[in-house]
Amino acid sequence: MQITPFWASIALLRVLPVLAQTTPTPTPTSAAPSCTASLVTSLCSYPTPGLDFAVASDGKPSCWNYCNAHPPCNFVIFAAGNPLTGTGTCWLYPGESFDASAGSSDCANPYLSVYDQPVCRGSGTPTSGSCAATATPSAVASVCGYPTPPDDCFSTCTASENASDCLSQCAKADSCSYVVFNPHNPDNSPYSSGTCWMYPSGTYDARAATTCSGPPEQFVYKNECPKPSPSSSPASSSASSSATARSSTETTKTGSTASGTVGAGTAAVADAALATTSKTSASTALRLTNPLAIYMAVLLWQGIA
């Protein structure tokens, strides 16, 4: 089969630039962020956080990371455990500010290090596909006795990691205008796990809540990132990506109407991919003028095939 090496080399030349293009670039989100934080003070005592917010920590940097990963975290306390290994416990107080008057430093060995909000590099935004407003939501009300959604939780209530998770579930739902987060954790904290009630329409009605006998048991959040209604945007993301592809390759496929966007968009993207590939192939071919390199490439290809 004399023709094989020829096709193989052509195929290889087409594959190489693709491989080159898809060489993974380091993504900042894959690595743990590196954080620094400034020491505010050292204490002997401070009110301990809720049960869910004291975690074993292998050192101060992990403690800063932990704070960074649980917004809103305005300060964090590292309680030194073992001075030889540097391990300890990390105390988190989501949503609270440091209250100097609540602590004491009257002891020989202040083992609590209070740090300001950490500054982190490479923390990225883990909220891919969701709207930023869900990351650090602020409750429009903290109440008790608010009724379940109209379908009595048949399809509108879910388990949720925290209020922010609840709100991002709401943002992903087809219709969700506000949520009530019911913490089911020892501290009644919206920053820990609970049940998420999603209201498909309407707005929070303050008159439907009852007075709390103790601390609030429900936290209400408005959905700031509702899904666009299906009628107003057919496949908007595909339309915008095809627009990018079109402009970069001067594809002449223009004027696709809203109703035909999906098919035309996909074709344009495919065209764009081909155009880029063949253009790069040509330049790679020019660079691969060394006969030895071509021969090696062909041998390699035959080895694979």
Ligand X SMILES: *[C@@H]1O[C@H](CO)[C@@H](O)[C@H](O)[C@H]1NC(C)=O
Contacts to ligand X by CB under 6 A: 69-71, 94, 161-162, 164-165, 191
Q: Which residue is nearest to ligand X (CB)?
A: 161
For helices 261-287 and 3-21, the axis angle rounded to 10 degrees is 110
Q: Extract the tokens encoding 151.
A: 């379908």
Burial string for 177-188 (b: 16+ CB within 10 Å, else e) reads: bbbbbbbebeeb
- Report the nearest approach of ligand X to the CB of residue 193 (Å): 8
Cβ proximity to ligand X: between 69 and 267 the closer is: 69
- Report the nearest approach of ligand X to the CB of residue 114 (Å): 20
Cβ proximity to ligand X: between 52 and 116 the closer is: 52
- Report the nearest approach of ligand X to the CB of residue 25 (Å): 24
Q: Extract the tokens encoding 147.
A: 């009724």
- Report the nearest approach of ligand X to the CB of residue 161 (Å): 3
Cβ proximity to ligand X: between 135 and 294 the closer is: 135
| Residue 285 CB partners (closer than 8 Å, separation 6+) | 13
Cβ proximity to ligand X: between 80 and 173 the closer is: 173
Decide: 57 and 49 in contact? Cβ < 8 Å: no
Cβ proximity to ligand X: between 55 and 119 the closer is: 55
Phi/psi of residue 282, each to 5°? -60, -45
CB atoms within 10 A of CB 8: 18
CA distance 34 to 63: 11
- Report the nearest approach of ligand X to the CB of residue 73 (Å): 8
| Residue 214 CB partners (closer than 8 Å, separation 6+) | none
- Is residue 245 helix, strand or coil? helix
- Report the nearest approach of ligand X to the CB of residue 195 (Å): 14
Cβ proximity to ligand X: between 162 and 218 the closer is: 162
